Structure 1
């Protein structure tokens, strides 16, 4: 299939990493802690994408081993080409990011000094039309981040009940017209099963009031988000991934997470706050070592891109960054 102009551009030009300099600076604290402890620094890019953040880390820190994880084999291939000049300092793995501890163990590494998660759908997935993530052009209704397995968005819209569709569109898309969208989908599929994004967009347009579309953005935006989250089990994975990442951090290591909607940020905030509080029972006279916090939160609330960064990369506009440092490692019993 011929590539459009965007798909033909080099990966480094197609992908502008969100909050790149800030992410690298935060991860750098973990790298310095590793050096001070006399160990070789390891940084995990848990959502590799097209490798922009990983490239910046490898360029900035010449002694870092970078472990890149992605469930998308196409992203791994593109990032592999981009990171090839760094040789065996870049070790790329086809996996989901809640598998960080297993990936490190398989590579013979006993932990990480920095872990980056850039959540949500990647630039690659949005730009590759045949993946079906975007509502702005017609494409097969797929939305899988790993096209080698799992149900597609077409499977969801063609088989889920109206009640289940309403539930996921309301919960994952935060869409107030979830019920009428779900009923319209079920009615339309009785005439013909859904196969493309374009037809789904038409059905959604037909039931979302024009006034709501004018103030709330594209009428299909929230439904597409909900379907993508459902197909890829994104929030379930995230709920497992943040605690697993913290467990994989060495002392002084740092976790940096960028989220793009409130559902993601709520999970990240809760996971980091839980591990940054004392676990001592209320009224306990002495805080024992095992009750002390494991994390120190490094960001006050969330950090956001500058206006200049958003001008350069409009997709960064909704990014929210949180970071924390491992200050205590549980004793092994």
Structure 2
């Protein structure tokens, strides 16, 4: 697999326990989870990802399973639409939603997801879209920027950072990831500027969520997934920050109260120390799973 270790893989396999039937990997990425599912079962996989570049790499990684995998460049929020078009609505035995940014997106500096490498302010997961982080940073009002940074990044210094962005962009457009990251480092209090976690982390998270409409898409994906599964089918969601996990937790709780599902994970499953050592990306991962009634 190219630069990719699937997160919480053993837990995913033990919950899904695939034998045959249809699995939808709605965030296929480079195909890490799907490859192991195909290896240990006779299941077929419908692979969805909005990132066309990742999809092409996944095709190469999964080529030995030709005939058992189909590929769709779609956002995971369109899971019901894809299932309907294939005639499998209500016939799917398992769904995986891995909400992390793939190593491909982080490693390719020109995609603009990382503040550690100079790149245009982009952050689109689906490069067919025209809307980028550059638009947000250079044209959104002060109020909108503060709201994005506070709601999606839980950024305590949102006002300070936004004031500096407004001042800076009056002089010249803010074009790159490193320009934005140094601006943030400049305005936060000294003890945060040199903390273990880079002071731009939360703002970059907030921008990525806003550019890709991630939280609304997650809600739509959760709702669609329940219609796609057959009774006793399982849905696994791996989230990487508290905003996502809150949405998943609330949705599962609500659906269980209505007797539509049964929650399989009383508490979110997190990575072991060993897994974190071999795959640091898994440090913030939380897995929740349900079974449809």
TM-score, normalised relative to structure 1: 0.85
The alignment status of 1:66 with 2:45, answered yes or no, reads yes
> Please, what is the CA RMSD of the aligned residues?
1.2
Match of 1:324 in 2: 290
Equivalent position to 2:273, from 307, 320, 323: 307
Deviation at 1:120, TM superposition (A): 3.1
Contact 1:150 1:231 in 2 (8 A): no
The alignment status of 1:129 with 2:109, answered yes or no, reads yes
Deviation at 1:213, TM superposition (A): 3.6
Deviation at 1:82, TM superposition (A): 0.7
Match of 1:83 in 2: 62
Cα distance in 2 between the residues matched to 1:148 and 1:194? 23
Match of 1:192 in 2: 172
Deviation at 1:13, TM superposition (A): 4.4
Instruction: Summarize the alignment of residues 239-278 of structure 1 with structure 2, pairs less than 5 Å apart.
Output: 239-278=219-258
- Ranges in structure 2 where 5+ consecutive residues have no aligned partner: none
Deviation at 1:103, TM superposition (A): 0.6
Deviation at 1:216, TM superposition (A): 6.2
Superposed CA offset, 1:1-46 (max 9, x none): xxxxxxxxxxx14001000111111111xx45xxxxxxx5100111
Superposed CA offset, 1:214-250 (max 9, x none): 4461010000000000000000101111111112110
The alignment status of 1:15 with 2:4, answered yes or no, reads yes
The alignment status of 1:212 with 2:192, answered yes or no, reads yes
Instruction: Summarize the alignment of residues 76-225 of structure 1 with structure 2, pairs less than 5 Å apart.
Output: 76-110=55-89, 111-215=91-195, 217-225=197-205
Deviation at 1:179, TM superposition (A): 0.6
Contact 1:117 1:257 in 2 (8 A): yes
Cα distance in 2 between the residues matched to 1:15 and 1:120? 12
Cα distance in 2 between the residues matched to 1:120 and 1:179? 28
- Count, aligned residues: 292
Deviation at 1:148, TM superposition (A): 1.1
Cα distance in 2 between the residues matched to 1:129 and 1:231? 17
Instruction: Summarize the alignment of residues 48-63 of structure 1 with structure 2, pairs less than 5 Å apart.
Output: 48-61=28-41, 63=42
Contact 2:112 2:177 in 1 (8 A): yes
Deviation at 1:123, TM superposition (A): 1.3
Contact 2:2 2:30 in 1 (8 A): no
Structure 1 outlier segments of 4+, above 4 Å: none
Question: Counterpart of 1:14 in 2: which secondary structure?
Answer: coil
Deviation at 1:50, TM superposition (A): 0.7
Contact 2:45 2:68 in 1 (8 A): yes
The alignment status of 1:45 with 2:11, answered yes or no, reads no
Larger Rg, first or second structure (1 or 2): 1
Question: Counterpart of 1:303 in 2: which secondary structure?
Answer: coil
Cα distance in 2 between the residues matched to 1:120 and 1:16? 12
